[in-house]
A and B are shown apart, each in its own frame.
Chain A
Amino acid sequence: MSCTYSSASVLSSPDTPPGLDKKRHTRYWLRCLRTHLPSAYIPNDSNRMTLAFFTISALDLLSSLVPNTTPEERAAYIDWIYSCQIPSGGFRASPSHDLSAVKDGSAQWDPANVPATYFALATLLILGDDLNRVRRKETLKWLRCMQRDDGSFGETLVNGKIEGGMDTRFGYCATCVRYILRGKREGPDPTSEEQDTDVDALVECLRKAETYDGGMSEMPFHEAHAGFTYCAIAALHFIDRFPWPIRSQPSEGQRAFNKMPLRKEGIVSTTSSEQQGGIKTRGLTSPDLTIHWLASRLTATISSEDEEDTYADETDTPETCHDAHSFVHTANFPTSMGETSEKSRPTSHFALDWVGFNGRCNKVADTCYAFWVGAGLTLMNASRVIHPTPVRRYLLEQTAHIVGGFGKLPGDPPDVYHSYLGLAALSLLETAAQAAHESPREGRDKPVEERELKALDACMCVSIEAKSRLYAIWQRWGVHDGKDWDGGG
């Protein structure tokens, strides 16, 4: 097996996971905050709200936002975000799309964008804004227009048409916007009197995107993908339609209803909660299989060189996957080279030192999937199926970069996307490790000073601290009756 030691490697013994170089990562993110991103980011110009979110949220997770910025600066960031708000509800994704300088005819090509609206609201929360300037009623109305008849959400609305393909990422962002603006409760919003989105239709749509192997895709029959799987699971949490907790023993009735078929197939003829006596269709028809699929994303194939078949025992395949490969007996060897290398196989398996996650079956590991899969498992109440140490070592010794931040693969230069999701994954691993060793309450109450990174809310992908600010905001809006609040997490 070939394993590249990246330049940032600080080797540690298998039992003591390396520490996170917070200073270095903070420097990376402060550069992103204070100087222009290089022109290589031009292809991401239409995702500036996303880049802004990564920057602000990363600094928050590192506890480096407030110490390194003045209140005036933070107020100016907030102003910038609001300058991207569309009067008819929602946010645009970049000032590059802003046509508001032209009085008429401009609205058509400068629509609000669903992911940008989630990222804008989340960043406002992190910056401590009270969301007072958010056009709440308009945004709720617009959000409803973003949902298709089949329950899925689009990205943007142009000329009355929902655009942006079928994609559970939009469903995830939409449910998060809905959650921030009106909590989990279904039905018309009591304060604005805006109608709710069609929650049942979304659940049905997500269930249909389950794949034969237990993962989820963007639409029926597409390949299972960790990003889409996370988005579906998190969306189900935001709308409170996740299956009953797997850990607690469900009653027979609950068990039956987790497995309830889609309404079109007959058994659940109607979905309004009254008619079902308060029982609602829930997502994920086979939670155990989904956990199986997520756990299968762990892989020791962490660099593209690992994809080559270094044992030469499968001459007919261009790519191979080392998972378990180093441990499984091969019955017959197509080549004598394969046999020789099998016999000279090392007895201790350094493949176990670094373990990453891939996004699809038989693919190489990639930093970002440490978040998509790790967070998915956390939300499935199954983070304990990961051994945190080798994943930490993979992130800190293989994909962390010497200048700070994370790259996609070992040795890759850092980029904003992988750098944020690398940190987010580390925060979840920290929480999981604490849960395993120390606190029965998943380490949530552990004081910030004792943690490396702030604890992340796996669902909203911001610090639990930032998410908690919603409580007061909901009270002010009068949308909170005490039942919705799950204490974050």
Chain B
Amino acid sequence: MSDYSDADSNADSFEPRLTSGEPTPEPQPTRVDNAIADATIERLKVALKTVCQENAQAKEIVSRILLGTLPGSNGSLKRKRYETCAHCEEEYSVEENEKGDCVYHPGRLAVQYGCLSRVSLMSSIGRKRIDVGSDTWADHDDEVHGDPETLMDEPGFMEGFMWDCCRRNGREEEDASGSDPTWADLTPLPTDEGSSTHPLAQIAYSPDYEETMSYLRALMAANELSPRALELTEDLIDMNPAHYTVWLYRSKILFALESDLYEELEWLNETALAHQKNYQIWHHRNLIIDKLGSCEGEAEFVGRMLERDAKNYHVWSYRQWLVRRFNLWEAGELEFTEKMLKEDVRNNSAWNHRWFVVNGKVAAMGVGDPKIRAREIRVAEEAIKKVAQNQSPWNYLRGIVKRCGLPLAELKGIAEQYASLEHPHSVRSSFALDLLAEILAEEEGGKEQAGRALDLLATRYDPVRKNYWAYRKSQLGMGELKQAVNVIA
């Protein structure tokens, strides 16, 4: 590995790089400007960061050199004054480039202004995109010639693409990272399928993915904790968010570089929306929020995620974590579940969250407190009044009774309101009938009636579960199921 990564590893005191066998060089007296001249860029970054942290005046000076004003922010918000183009290798001034032709420069800049497509957001090592102005597409017919996105690597179509970082034509250079000094010191590690002649579950990796992965492996093998590694994890996560170590690697880099965690959150918001079924994202979010020690804005974000999928398991789990971590038991959580249930009274995730808010606090009495119990029973009964054929509130009622160690018979009243054996034609909830059957089975001499309730369920009100009701009846020792007709007659 080069100086670059060595310097970086040494900067991380947790991961000492042991170099055995080499003699320690004789120490020589030197001056600070000589040391600056000889130091690696990464070492200087660390030094400059330290100076900024320890001296406010120095921080001011550095800000003046490196930061410009964010347009439209009245001068209160700053942005980077310089960016380096990952493809054309040149540093450019963001301000001077404002309306010029280099708006396609990559990296965080794009994230902050949100003016570019996702494709170019991922492009810290430069990516090709369709050049809509190119003559190549003038007579192009997707139906006949194929989707332009799929032609990126076809020799005949190179002119139709441009590098998204600097708008150079796609024909000019194909391997952006290969020519980029940012990556020149790194030897990518290609995928190794072992010596097997028949690897299993091979995937048609896109050139992008294979390349990003190869560089990531090289960085991870060197345990490099650097800005470029941080950028690369972003690219990789976007393609493969289920990678089980890249997230850990990323958080380690973030903390080692003392990166801006709010910036990380902004990126995470976007990523979470793009990959709603991924759980690593939420675990990572836990880490960041935990470190920040503040959950400001989190409830709103979770709310936005639930607007897209009101039953997203990870989002609800994360919300539980927030409540525990920041002690939000009394900060509007019950009201939140009410709001969610008003939108969809069948949202079982919302019912479960309510159960958690009421009973989940360590040493909480929860529904063991008669007042709370009465309130929760009322909430469930109201929901049943609204929609009786809804399993969630019935389960909720059973849960209350069970947790309090009360007999199920406590619920006989409400069950009979919706399912009475005296009126077998007008059962309004199969869940009420199920509950009633269970209550009757426990009653002295109630087995006969329980059996009738189960017959009704099996043959009329819930035939989907016919075999289950038969099984329940067999547990009563009551013989076979009877047809509902006979039961009613």
Instruction: List chain A positions with a Cβ less than 8 A from chain B.
Output: 32-33, 36-39, 41-49, 51-52, 55-56, 73, 76-77, 79-84, 93, 95-102, 105-106, 108-111, 113, 123, 155-156, 158, 163-165, 211-213, 218, 220-225, 286, 289, 295-296, 298-300, 314, 316-321, 323-325, 327-331, 349, 351-352, 355, 360-363, 382, 384-387, 390
Contacts and interface: CB of A to CB of B under 8 A. Distances in A.
B425 interface: yes
A39 B204 contact: yes
Chain B CB count within 10 A is highest, among A55, A108, A361, for A361
A331 B202 contact: no
A105 to B, nearest CB: 5
A36 B205 CA distance: 9
B199 A330 contact: no
Interface string B209-251: 1000100011011110000000000000001111111001100
A220 B352 CA distance: 11
Contacts of A98: 191-192, 217
A47 B242 contact: yes
A164 B244 contact: yes
Contacts of B200: 33, 48, 51-52, 55-56, 77, 80-81, 123
Interface string B400-444: 101100000000000000000000011111100000000000000
A337 B209 CA distance: 53
A83 B201 contact: no
Given A163-B248, A223-B349, A362-B347, A324 B430 contact: yes
B194 A79 contact: yes
Contacts of B147: none
Nearest to B243: A46
10 contacts: A39-B203, A45-B240, A76-B197, A99-B220, A105-B15, A165-B283, A212-B403, A221-B355, A222-B313, A321-B391
B104 interface: no
Given A73-B198, A99-B220, A108-B223, A221 B213 contact: no
Given A95-B199, A109-B249, A295-B468, 6 more contacts: A39-B203, A41-B203, A45-B205, A96-B243, A223-B349, A329-B427
A299 B311 contact: no
Interface in B241-286: 241-245, 248-249, 275, 279, 283
B222 A76 contact: no
Interface stretch (B37-45, B110-118, B166-174, B382-390): B382-390
A360 B346 CA distance: 11
A223 B203 contact: no
A46 B223 contact: no
Contact of B244 (A81, A93, A100): A93
A323 B240 contact: no
B223 A96 contact: no
B206 A39 contact: yes
Given A37-B202, A48-B203, A327-B430, A319 B463 contact: no
A223 B195 CA distance: 45
Given A39-B203, A45-B203, A222 B320 contact: yes
Contact of B462 (A38, A324, A329, A384): A324
B373 interface: no
B467 A37 contact: no
B317 interface: yes
A10 B196 CA distance: 41
B189 A46 contact: no
A46 B347 contact: no
Given A36-B203, A323-B462, A328 B429 contact: yes
B67 to A, nearest CB: 34
A55 B199 CA distance: 12
Interface residues of B, number: 86
A95 B239 CA distance: 17
Interface in B434-489: 460-468, 471
A300 B462 CA distance: 11
A58 B275 CA distance: 28
Contact of B427 (A93, A97, A225, A328): A328
Given A51-B201, A316-B386, A317-B345, A109 B313 contact: no
Contacts of B460: 327
Contacts of B204: 36-39, 41
Given A99-B220, A99-B221, A321 B203 contact: no
B154 interface: no
A109 B352 contact: no
Given A113-B244, A222-B320, A295-B468, A83 B348 contact: no
A327 to B, nearest CB: 5
Given A222-B317, A328-B429, A351 B467 contact: no
User: In this complex, which of A32, A46, A47, A113 has the most chain B Cβ atoms within 10 angstroms of its Cβ?
Assistant: A46
B239 A109 contact: no
B408 to A, nearest CB: 11
Contacts of B68: none
Nearest to B218: A102
B398 interface: yes
A300 B463 CA distance: 10
A213 B399 contact: yes
A289 B408 CA distance: 13
A321 B317 CA distance: 24
B402 A102 contact: no
A295 B245 contact: no
B239 A42 contact: yes
Contacts of B213: 45, 96
Interface string B357-382: 00110000000000000000000000
Kindly list the 6 A-B residue pairs having the minimum CB-CB distance in the complex, ordered from nearest: A83-B194, A212-B399, A52-B200, A80-B196, A76-B198, A51-B201
B203 A80 contact: no
B4 to A, nearest CB: 15
A374 to B, nearest CB: 12
Contacts of A33: 200
Interface string B96-126: 0000000000000000000000000000000
A213 to B, nearest CB: 4
Nearest to A352: B463
B193 interface: yes
A189 to B, nearest CB: 28
B439 to A, nearest CB: 14
A422 B449 CA distance: 39
Nearest to B398: A213
Contacts of A218: 317
Contact of A212 (B395, B425, B466): B395
Contacts of A382: 471
Nearest to B347: A362
A360 B356 contact: no
Contacts of A384: 467, 471
B396 interface: yes
B346 A320 contact: yes
Contacts of B22: none
Contacts of B359: 221
B464 A298 contact: yes
Given A158-B245, A164-B244, A212 B202 contact: no
A471 B395 CA distance: 43
